[in-house]
Amino acid sequence: MEKEFDRSVSLTSSPSQSKENELLRISNLSIAYESKHANLLALDNIDLEIGQNRLIAVVGESGCGKSTLALSIIGLLAMPPAKIMNGKIEYKSINLTALKEKDRRKFRGTEIAMIFQEPLTSLNPVYKVGDQIAEAIAVREERKNDRSMDLESEVMQRTYKVNAPDMPSRLPRFKRGGLTKLLRDEVLQVLKQVRIADAEQVIDRYPFELSGGMRQRVMIAMALAQKPALLIADEPTTALDVTTQAQVLRLMKELIDEVNTSILLITHDLAVASQVADRVIVMYAGDIVEDSDVYDLFREPLHPYSKGLLSCIPVGSKDKAKLKPIPGSVPDLSKPFVGCKYASRCPFAMEICSKRSPRLVEARPNHRVACFLYSGESR
Amino acid sequence: MNTASFILRRLFLGIFVLLGVVTITFILAHSLGGNPVYAWLGRTASSHPQLVQLYTEKYHLNDPLYIQYYYYITGLLQGNLGYSPAKGFIPVSQVIVETFPYTLQIAFFAIVISIVLGVVLGVVSARFHHGPIDKSIRAFYLAGISSPAFFIALILLIVFTYFFHLLPTGNAADPSLLTPKPITYIPMLDSIIEGDYAYFASSIQHVILPSLSLALGTFGVVVRVLRSSMLDIMRSNYVRTARAKGLKENTVFFKHGLRNAMISVVTLSSFIVTWLITGTIFVENIFSYPGMGEYVFTALIVQDYPGILATTIIFAVIIVISNLVADILYVVVDPQIRLG
Amino acid sequence: MLSPDTRSDEEGPVPVASSNPSSAVRLREILSSIKADKGAMVGFVIVAIFVIVALAEFVAQSTGFLLAPYNPIKTNVGPQYAAPSLAHLMGTDNLGRDVFSRIITATPNDLGVSFTVIIFALCVGAIVGSYAAFHGGILDEALMRVTDIFFAIPALVLAMSIALALGPGITNMTVALMIIWWPPYARLARGEALKIAHQNYIEAARLSGAGRSKIILRHVLPNISLTLLVYASLDIGTVILVYAGLSYLGLGIKPPYPDWGQMVSAYQDFMLSYPWLPFFPGLIIALGVIGFSLLGDGLKNTLTS
C-alpha cells in the first residue's frame, strides 16, 4: 500500500522531490583519483537524489564511476588516492562530506548499508555466518543505547529510527559459549527474512561452506539486520549464476517494502536493472547521462548512449542480428576534457558536442538527459 | 574426522622425515672412516681395538650395507646413541637427558618473548604504517635478524652483566643452590613443584639473557610477516564489509584484521624453531648455560662424533614435532583447513 | 558478463597489466625504483661497498698486492690491544695485528662463500624443481620428500655433521652449504613452474612438438627466474649468517687467516677489557646482512608490485 502511494508521488512530482520523501541528495559531486602522474576524474559534477522505499539502479560500463559513487555515499572511499573535489552528499539533510570520520562512521550500517560483488571474499573467512550477522545487530543496538551520549546526539536522534526490541548492547563475544539466545533468535529471524529455509544450520556455518547465492543472501541479511534506510548493492549478482541472480534480485525487490528501505543497485547490466528497478540512472565516464523512470527508459531511451546500451541487450532470438556493440572507447579521464564525453562514439554528434559539455536537463516529465539533442541549445 | 586424518597424515610424514634424517646420519657415520663404529665410539675407536671388534659383531658391521642399516636403526631405537668422548664416555643418551631440559627452558622463554615482542611490534607497525614509529621498528628488527646470535649474546652479556651488573651469567641457576630433585626433569618446573622458590627465582634470572639473545634474532620475522599480512588484510573485501557495518576502526583492526593475520604467524613456527635451535649452540656457550647447545659446541671442539650425530637426530625430532604442533595449531586458527 | 575476478572494475585507476618489456628496460625500471626507495638505496650502497672491497681484495690477493693498510697475518704491526685510532681504525688484537686489515682480508672469503652457495642453489634448484614439476609422478614426489627431510635439519647443524665427515676448512664448508642449500629453491621453482605449466604459451610450445627439456629451458626457466632471483637476493644474508656461525665454531678458514665469525670467537676472550675487539667483526657481519636484506626487500617490492 505504501509502495503504491510512493510511486504515485514520484510519478507526479518533478525529479527533485519534496523534502519529506527525500533520503539522499547529492549535489555537484566531483571525485578524482590523485596519483603522482595524473588526476583521474571519476565523478564529474554529479547531481542525484534518492527517495524513500525505492529501488534505483545505476547502470554503466566498467570505469564509469558507479562504484566510486557507491563508496563515496557510504564513506568507504580510500582517501587518498580519492579526493572529493567539490560538491556534497546530504543524507536526511545532513551533509556527510563535512563530517569527521568519527561521526561519519555512525551512519554506516544502521543508516546506509552496503553489500558487495563478491560475497565469498566479503565475508570474514574465520567467523561463522551467525556471528558476523550478530555483530551487525550488536552495532545497531549499541548505537541505539549510546546515541544520547553522542556529541552529535541531536543529529543522530533526528536521523535514527528506533524500532527494534531492546537487546544487550555489548558486542557479541565470538566462540565463547556462542551467542545469547536473544541474539541468536534475531539472527535466525533475519536469515529467514532473506528466505533462507535452513537458517538453523546456516547460522553455524563458515562462509566457505555456503553456495554463492547463499553467501549473497547472508550479506543481504547482515545489511538488513542493521535496519538501514538506504542499502547500496554494488554488483550484487555479478558473481552469481543466472538462476541465483534472478532469485537474489527478486528477494531485494521484495524486501524494499518489507523492511522499509531504499536500494541503490549498482550494475553494469541493463537487463538486471530492467528486472527490478523503479528508476534507472545511466552513467558514462563519470557523468550521469540519463535519469529516468524504468518504463520510460526502456520505452524511449533519450541519450544516444542509452540507446546504444539497449541495443546491446539480446531480446529474444529474432533480434540477434540487431545486437551491436558500441564502437569506440571511453575518453582518457586523466586529461582535461572539453565537450560531451560520448561525442566521439555518438552517431548523432553535432558541432556543439565537442565544444561544450551538455547539462542534465529535464527533457520529459521525470526524465532527465544530458544531451544537446534535447536541450534546445543545439544550432 | 577430517582433522584427525589430516593430523594422521602429517604424523606419517613426520615419521618418514625422521627416517630420512637417520639415513643421512647413517651415510655420514659411514663416511667417518668407512665404519659407523666411529660414530658411536669417536676417538676411543683407535685406542680400543677390542671395543671396535665388539661393536662390529654386535651391529653386523662386516655384513652388507642394508643389514648394517637395519642394525643402525634398531640400535638407535634402543637408545644407543653411542658414548660421548666429550663427557668422559657416558652414554650420549644420558647427556641428552641431562642437558635437554635446560635447552627447553631457554627455548620456551625465547619463543614467548619473540612471539609477544613480534606480535606487539607488528601490530603497532601495521597500525601506524609508513610513519616514524613503523620505520624505527623496522630498523630495530632488521638489526636483530641481521646479527648473528653470538654477536647479540656478546653485546647483551657485556652490557647487562659487566657494565650494569644486572643479571648473572654462567650455569642455569646460582651454583650454590641445589638443583631440585627431578620430577618432570625440567628444573624450573621441579623447583615450583617442590616449592624451592629461591632456585626458581635464580633460574629465571639466568634464563633471561640467553633467551633474550635468541628472541632478538627471531622476533623480527614475526613483525615483518604480521605487518605485511595485516596491511594486505586491511585492504581486503571483508574488512571493507566490517567497515560498512559501522564498526569502530579499532574493532575492525583487531577483530577482523589481526585474527586473520595470526594465521600467517603460525606458519612461521617452523622457521622460528629451526633458528632457535641453531642459536642455542652459540648462546648457551657464551652464557655457559648447561644445555644441549653447549654440549654440541664442546662436542665439536673435541670431535665427539657420537654427540654430533645424535644431537642432529634429536634436533630433527624437535623440528618434526614442532611442525606437527604448528599443523595442529593451524587447524585450530583456520576453519577452512579444519573443515575444507 | 563479467567474470568474478574482474571485481576491481571501477575502483579507480586500475594498474596497467604489465606487458613484457625488454630486459634492459626492465633493469632501468628496477634501478630507478630502487633509487626512489630509501631503504633499498641504503642496502644498495652497503652491498656495493662490500662487493667492491671483496673484488678489489680478491684481485690484490691473487696478485700479491696489499690492499689493506697492514699485513693481516703479520703480528706486532702495532702495539697489542690498541684502541681504535687513526692508525688502527678498529684497533689491534692480542698479537698486535690490525683488526681493520684482517676484516678487509676476510671480505672475499665471506662474500665468496655466500655467492657460490646461492648461485649453485639457484641453478640446481631451478632445474630440478621445474623438471620435477613437468615430469610429475615419482620424480616429483621424491623431490618433495627429499626436501622435507632437508627442511627438518637446521642448515648449520647439517653443515656441522658434514664438516665432521669432510673435515673443516672453507672449501669443505662451501661444499656442505651447497649440498644443503638447494632444496628450498627446488621447492620454490617447482611451485612457480606448476603455476605456469598450463598457460597457453606452454601448451602451444608443447603442441608444436617441443620436448620437455626445450620447454623448460626456453619457456619455464626465463619465467620463473625473477621470483627465484628475488628469493635469492633475500637469502644471501642468511648464507653469510650461517657461514659466520660455522666459522665462529672453528669450521671455516684455518687461522692465522682471518674470517669474520672466527675473529669474533677468537676475540671473545678479551671482550671484558677490550670490547671493541669482538664488536667490530660482529658489526661487519650484521652490516653486510642488513645491506643484502634491505636491497632484497627493495627488489621484492619492485618486482612483485
> Domain for residue B264, yes or no?
yes
> Domain for residue B290, yes or no?
yes
B222 vs B187, more confident: B222
Among the partner-chain residues C1, C10, C13, the one whose CB lies closest to the CB of A66 is: C10
Domain limits at C258? 4-304
Angle (nearest 5°) at CA C150 between C147 and C151: 85
From residue B61, alpha-carbon distances to A34, B28, B72 in Å are 76, 15, 9
CA distance C26 to chain B (A): 25
What number of CA atoms fall less than 13 Å from residue A266's CA on the CB side? 24
Confidence of residue B40 (pLDDT cuts 50, 70, 90): low
Q: Are residues B208 and B68 in the same domain?
A: no
Among the partner-chain residues C2, C9, C12, the one whose CB lies closest to the CB of A42 is: C12
Greatest Cα pair distance, chain B, in angstroms, is 81
Q: Are residues B15 and B42 in the same domain?
A: yes
Among the partner-chain residues B296, B308, B315, the one whose CB lies closest to the CB of C153 is: B315
Confidence of residue A74 (pLDDT cuts 50, 70, 90): confident
| Best residue of B236, B238, B243, B255 to probe chain A, by most A CBs closer than 10 Å | B238
> Domain for residue B338, yes or no?
no
Helix (H) or strand (E) holding B226: helix B197-233
Q: Of C87, C90, C116, nearest to C103 (Cα)?
A: C90
The Cα B200–Cα A309 span in angstroms is: 79
Helix (H) or strand (E) holding A82: strand A82-91
Weakest-pLDDT range from B96-110, B129-143, C147-161: C147-161
Among the partner-chain residues A174, A209, A226, the one whose CB lies closest to the CB of B245 is: A226
Calculate helix-pair angle for C99-135, C221-248, nearest 10 degrees. Answer: 140
Share of chain A above pLDDT 70, in %: 80
Q: Is the pLDDT of residue A319 over 70?
A: no
Q: What is the pLDDT of residue A157?
A: 45
Kindly report the CATH number assigned to the domain that includes residue C57. Answer: 1.10.3720.10
Determine the residue of chain B that is closest to C152 in CA distance.
Answer: B316
Give me the phi and psi of A268, to 5 degrees please: -100, 0
Q: Are residues B231 and B328 in the same domain?
A: yes
- Chain A residues in contact with B333 by the CB 8 A cut-off are 126
Q: What is the pLDDT of residue C285?
A: 95
- pLDDT (mean) for A273-278: 85
Q: Which residues of B63-83 are buried (b: 16+ CB within 10 A; e: fewer)?
A: eeeeebbebbeebbeeebbbb
Q: What is the pLDDT of residue C115?
A: 95
Q: Are residues B45 and B156 in the same domain?
A: no
Radius of gyration of chain A (CA): 22
Confidence of residue A166 (pLDDT cuts 50, 70, 90): very low
Q: Is the pLDDT of residue B300 over 70?
A: yes
- pLDDT (mean) for A296-305: 83
For the stretch A215-245, pLDDT in tens is 888 988 888 888 888 889 888 887 778 888 8
Inform me whether the C-beta atom of residue A201 falls under 8 Å from chain B C-beta atoms.
no
Q: What is the mean pLDDT of chain A?
A: 76
The Cα A31–Cα A22 span in angstroms is: 23
B246: left (phi over 0), alpha (psi -120 to 50) or beta: left
From residue C112, alpha-carbon distances to C66, C106, C109, C299 in Å are 19, 10, 5, 21
> Domain for residue B230, yes or no?
yes
Kindly report the CATH number assigned to the domain that includes residue B196. Answer: 1.10.3720.10
Chain A residues whose C-beta sits inside 8 Å of any chain C C-beta? 33, 35, 40, 42, 62-68, 81-82, 117-118, 235, 238-239, 268-269
Q: Of A42, A47, A44, nearest to A27 (Cα)?
A: A47
**In total, how many domains does chain C have?**
1
Q: Of B28, B53, B54, nearest to B39 (Cα)?
A: B28
C-alpha cell at A141: 543496538
- pLDDT (mean) for B16-43: 75
A329, amino acid identity? S
Q: Is the pLDDT of residue A163 over 60?
A: no
The Cα C218–Cα C225 span in angstroms is: 12
Weakest-pLDDT range from A44-48, A162-166, A168-172, B39-43: A162-166
Q: Is A87 helix (H, G, I), strand (E, B) or coil?
A: strand
**In total, how many domains does chain B have?**
2
- Print pLDDT tens along chain C (305 aa): 333 333 333 333 333 333 444 566 777 777 787 778 888 899 999 999 999 999 999 888 888 777 777 777 777 777 887 788 877 778 888 888 888 889 998 999 999 999 999 999 999 999 999 888 888 888 888 888 888 888 888 888 888 888 777 878 889 899 989 988 999 999 999 988 888 877 778 778 877 777 778 888 878 888 888 889 889 988 999 999 999 999 999 888 888 888 999 999 999 888 888 888 899 999 999 999 999 999 988 888 887 76
Angle (nearest 5°) at CA A277 between A271 and A282: 70
| Contact across the interface for C9 and A82, Cβ inside 8 Å | no
The Cα B209–Cα B156 span in angstroms is: 7
Is the full-model pTM beyond 0.95?
no
What number of CA atoms fall less than 13 Å from residue A147's CA on the CB side? 19
A7, amino acid identity? R
- Chain A residues in contact with B248 by the CB 8 A cut-off are 105
Highest mean pLDDT of the ranges A220-234, A259-273, B273-287: B273-287
From residue A214, alpha-carbon distances to A125, A199, B64, C8, C12 in Å are 15, 11, 65, 23, 29
E strands, A205-303, are: 230-234, 262-267, 279-284, 287-293
Pairing of the two strands A262-267 and A55-59: parallel
Q: Of B164, B99, B84, nearest to B315 (Cα)?
A: B99
Cα A280 off chain centre by? 11
Cα torsion B113, B117, B119, B120 to 10°: value is: 140
The Cα C305–Cα C303 span in angstroms is: 6
CA distance B235 to chain A (A): 10
> Domain for residue B29, yes or no?
yes
Q: What is the pLDDT of residue A216?
A: 86
The Cα C95–Cα C277 span in angstroms is: 12
Place of cell 625473477: C226
Confidence of residue A318 (pLDDT cuts 50, 70, 90): low
- pLDDT (mean) for B20-33: 79
Pairing of the two strands A367-369 and A361-364: antiparallel
Angle (nearest 5°) at CA C187 between C181 and C193: 130
Greatest Cα pair distance, chain C, in angstroms, is 82
Helices (H), A147-211: 153-159, 181-193, 199-202
Q: Of C178, C121, C192, C151, nearest to B271 (Cα)?
A: C151
E strands, A217-366, are: 230-234, 262-267, 279-284, 287-293, 361-364
The Cα A343–Cα A337 span in angstroms is: 12
A317, amino acid identity? S
Q: Are residues B50 and B102 in the same domain?
A: no
C27, amino acid identity? L
Confidence of residue A61 (pLDDT cuts 50, 70, 90): confident
The Cα C225–Cα C211 span in angstroms is: 20
Point out which residues pair with C27 in neighbouring strands: none
| Contact across the interface for C157 and B145, Cβ inside 8 Å | no
Weakest-pLDDT range from A62-76, A337-351, B112-126: A337-351
For the stretch A122-156, pLDDT in tens is 888 888 888 888 888 888 877 776 654 444 444 44
Q: Which residues have CB under 8 Å from C154's CB, separation 6+? A: B274, B275, B277, B278, B315, B319
Q: Is the pLDDT of residue A332 over 80?
A: no
ipTM of the modeled complex: 0.87
Q: DSSP letter string over B71-102?
A: HHHHHHHTT---EEGGGTTEEHHHHHHHHHHH
The Cα A309–Cα A323 span in angstroms is: 10
What number of CA atoms fall less than 13 Å from residue A244's CA on the CB side? 14
- 3-class SS letters over chain C: CCCHHHHHHHCCCCCCCCCCCCHHHHHHHHHHHHHHCHHHHHHHHHHHHHHHHHHHHHHHHHHCCCCCCCCCCCCCCCCCCCCCCCCCCCCECCCCCEHHHHHHHHHHHHHHHHHHHHHHHHHHHHHHHHHHHHHCHHHHHHHHHHHHHHHCCCHHHHHHHHHHHHCCCHHHHHHHHHHHHHHHHHHHHHHHHHHHCCCHHHHHHHHCCCCHHHHHHHHHHHHHHHHHHHHHHHHHHHHHHHHHHHHHCCCCCCCCCCCHHHHHHHHHHHCCCCCHHHHHHHHHHHHHHHHHHHHHHHHHHHHHC
For the stretch A182-215, pLDDT in tens is 788 888 888 888 888 888 888 888 888 888 888 8
The Cα A62–Cα A286 span in angstroms is: 11
| Contact across the interface for C13 and A82, Cβ inside 8 Å | no
How many other C-beta atoms can be found within 10 angstroms of the C-beta atom of residue C213?
A: 11
Point out which residues pair with A262 in neighbouring strands: A230
Q: Is the pLDDT of residue A334 over 80?
A: no
**Contact yes or no for A276/A55 (Cβ under 8 A):** yes
> Domain for residue B229, yes or no?
yes
Weakest-pLDDT range from A299-303, B161-165, B262-266, C20-24: C20-24
Q: Is A301 helix (H, G, I), strand (E, B) or coil?
A: coil
CA distance A194 to chain C (A): 23
> Domain for residue B339, yes or no?
no
| Contact across the interface for A33 and C10, Cβ inside 8 Å | no
Domain limits at B24? 3-92
CA distance C203 to chain B (A): 31
From residue A17, alpha-carbon distances to A289, A366, B42, B97 in Å are 19, 10, 96, 85
For the stretch A277-289, pLDDT in tens is 888 888 888 888 8
Chain B residues whose C-beta sits inside 8 Å of any chain A C-beta? 236-238, 240-249, 251, 255-256, 259-260, 263, 333-336, 339-340
Weakest-pLDDT range from A4-13, B306-315, C27-36, C151-160: A4-13
Q: Are residues B107 and B223 in the same domain?
A: yes
Q: How many residues does chain A have?
A: 379
Q: What is the pLDDT of residue C1?
A: 32
Q: What is the pLDDT of residue B38?
A: 67
Confidence of residue A2 (pLDDT cuts 50, 70, 90): very low
A185 vs A174, more confident: A185
The Cα B225–Cα B259 span in angstroms is: 14
Q: Is the pLDDT of residue B196 over 60?
A: yes
Cα-Cα-Cα-Cα dihedral sign, residues B284, B286, B287, B290: positive
| Contact across the interface for B243 and A76, Cβ inside 8 Å | yes
A9 vs B11, more confident: B11
CA distance C190 to chain A (A): 28
- pLDDT (mean) for A331-340: 76
> Domain for residue B217, yes or no?
yes
